Amino acid sequence: MLNFLKYVLATLVGLFLFIVLGFFLMAGIGALLGDGDAVVLKDNSVLRLDLERPIQEIVEENPFSEALAPFTGEVSSVSIKEVKDALVKAASDNKIKGVYLKAGAPASGWAVLEEVRDALAAFKASGKFVYAFAEGYSEKGYYLASVSDVIYLTEFGDFEWNGLSAEYDFYKGTLDKLEIKPEVFRVGEFKSAVEPFLRTDMSEASRLQARELLTGINDHFLGKIAVSRSVTPARLRDWADSLSIEKAGDALSRGLITHVGYYDQFESDLKAKLGTKESEKVHFTGLKNYLKSGSDKKEEGDFNKRVAVVIAEGEIVSGEGSENLISSGKLIKELKKVRENDKVKAVVLRINSPGGSALASDLIWREVKLTAEKKPVIASMGNVAASGGYYIAMGCDTIVAQPNTITGSIGIFGLMLNIEPFMKNKLGITFDRVMTNPHADWPTATRNMTDFEKQKIQRAVETGYEIFTSKAADGRKMSQSDLKKLAEGRVWSGVAAKSNGLVDVLGGVDTAIEIAAAAADLKKGDYRVRYYPEKKDWKQELMNSLTGSDDEETLSRIAGPLAPYAKAYRSLTRMEGIQARMPFEIRID
């Protein structure tokens, strides 16, 4: 037995030393990689864009992410900024002849896809080619691929063409079974974030706004594809209504793709386009490697004249929070940093958020206003900038959104769950209390609230709604009564928001940067763009990968098909105080 324990101890010590030494070995390799020369690019190369992965605003650098993927189960994300930077660089790079686009089913919202698609179109306009290949296309994937010169789809590949749908989850049935009673306080007919707790289906008001939102996004989607593929939007709608595109050949006969074939055939066509012999390999360069090539090139623009792009992505929470959240404490620090930096002449607040804490949103709004008093601040809306996401945009001088951005949802609510019956009847746990005052334990989840207490919360919600709409009206330069006609929690597409005055300009982050620079009297080529928060040290990101970070990718990997419900539960646990948020998640596919 003693020998057995000795061997076990020796094994454990050996494993520990292996992990420690391995870490420092990788750190040393990483340091060498970081200090090494730029990647050498071969002539007649093709930029390979693999977008079948999450597309985020900014992705922290981790040189070992791909190598660690088999062990961590993580799917590495790609940064929209990196994609756009690479395409701009490649358009004028004589060694890059074209792009190989792999984007069968990208994991992103519609507004971010719009930015990528526009960047692909601009690259194509330079006279270079875009070739796309996929084993199957979702509608989001095809939206990107439709701009390509050549579109390959395998013979048995799926081609999704049945229209867009938005699906909501409802939890009332679950709460009823568990004997958990929700107490909801809200203002606004369209504030449907609370409906999952009160109903088993959508209200007519919620259905109306969802239908109009979908219609707006779908009309834009069809219009762009119609131009790229030389077909009318009406025909595209008919094909979706009739489900007439059942296989790759159907998409081919209608001109939506150019070839039905396998990857080897696609590669042969690519070689012919490049003038490469069939026996030779195509020189592909990946996104990250390509951005490293020629990295010694001097950056243009005056170092002392900067446009700061401050990223605000995720749910809005109070305090310092964690990764993938808009933490009021962290974002306020970033805004203060760029406000007090004399080298920063203008600011773009890039928002991708469904909202969250009303208090945190208001604190951030104040910091935005303080920054706008000192230098131009332009809001750039991503996939979604609704409720609290719209709140923090209100203090900006100009609001820019994509046509398919989800925005608005101007309204707030409060939610309390009474778990007393559940604890008593399901778990056998009961509660009792002594108090110095009648409401000393209020608010509480372990007893029924009195009508007086409910009125207090409802009044706080109504007061918050007045504050929200008053500040929105001031930012939009309209009367509060007119603003309220657009509020009540109603969600709008970017196109509709531009039409009704909630948004000023349609466009992406580059448009917002141009507006910010012009507002600061900066000429093109005379300034530099800096993104905040600045990237973390890659060693810290490596540790996050090894220890498991609290992010969306990790949650999806662990929960699998139950990930949407796990995310909803996590969002529920973060609801502290009055909320300014849209429905948990609108999935438009």
Whole-model pTM?
Answer: 0.84
What pLDDT score does 293 carry?
Answer: 81
At residue 316, what are phi and psi to the nearest 5 degrees?
Answer: -95, 125
What pLDDT score does 582 carry?
Answer: 61
- Rounded distance between C-alpha atoms, residue 399 and residue 383, angstroms: 14
| Lowest-pLDDT range of 117-121, 267-271, 292-296, 303-307 | 292-296
- The mean pLDDT of 338-364, rounded to a whole number, is 95
Residue 61: band (very low, low, confident or very high) from pLDDT cuts 50, 70, 90? low
Question: To 10 degrees, what angle do helices 552-559 and 563-573 make?
Answer: 130
What pLDDT score does 191 carry?
Answer: 67
Domains of the chain are: 45-161+245-292 (3.90.226.10), 306-550+579-588 (3.90.226.10)
- Rounded distance between C-alpha atoms, residue 365 and residue 385, angstroms: 14
What confidence tens digit (pLDDT) does each residue in 361-389 have? 999 999 999 999 999 999 999 999 999 99
Q: Which of 108, 148, 380, 387 is catalytic?
A: 387
- Rounded distance between C-alpha atoms, residue 418 and residue 175, angstroms: 10
Query: Is 191 considered catalytic here?
Result: yes
At residue 200, what are phi and psi to the nearest 5 degrees?
Answer: -110, 0
What pLDDT score does 568 carry?
Answer: 54
What confidence tens digit (pLDDT) does each residue in 402-431 have? 999 999 999 888 888 899 999 999 999 999
The better pLDDT of the pair 518, 534 is held by 518
Those residues whose C-beta lies under 8 Å from the C-beta of residue 284, and which sit 6 or more positions away, are 45, 46, 47, 48, 100
Rank 39-53, 553-567, 570-584 by mean pLDDT and report only the highest.
39-53
Q: Which of 191, 330, 345, 498 is catalytic?
A: 191
Q: Hey, which residues does 320 pair with through a beta bridge?
A: none
- Rounded distance between C-alpha atoms, residue 26 and residue 539, angstroms: 10
pLDDT at 32 over 90: no
**CA torsion through residues 132, 138, 144, 148, sign:** positive
Instruction: Output the CA angle 584-488-391, nearest 5 degrees.
Output: 65
The better pLDDT of the pair 148, 291 is held by 148
Question: Look-up: residue for tokens 């220890």?
Answer: 547
What pLDDT score does 18 carry?
Answer: 52
What pLDDT score does 63 carry?
Answer: 53
Instruction: Output the CA angle 336-340-346, nearest 5 degrees.
Output: 90
- Rounded distance between C-alpha atoms, residue 359 and residue 332, angstroms: 13
What confidence tens digit (pLDDT) does each residue in 99-110 have? 999 999 998 999
Nearest to 357 by CA among 392, 322, 400: 392
Q: E strands within 423-471? A: none
- Rounded distance between C-alpha atoms, residue 536 and residue 195, angstroms: 39
- The mean pLDDT of 217-232, rounded to a whole number, is 96
CA atoms within 13 A on the CB side of 339: 17
**Structural element, H or E, at residue 183:** strand 181-186
Rank 68-72, 293-297, 453-457 by mean pLDDT and report only the highest.
453-457
Query: Is 387 considered catalytic here?
Result: yes
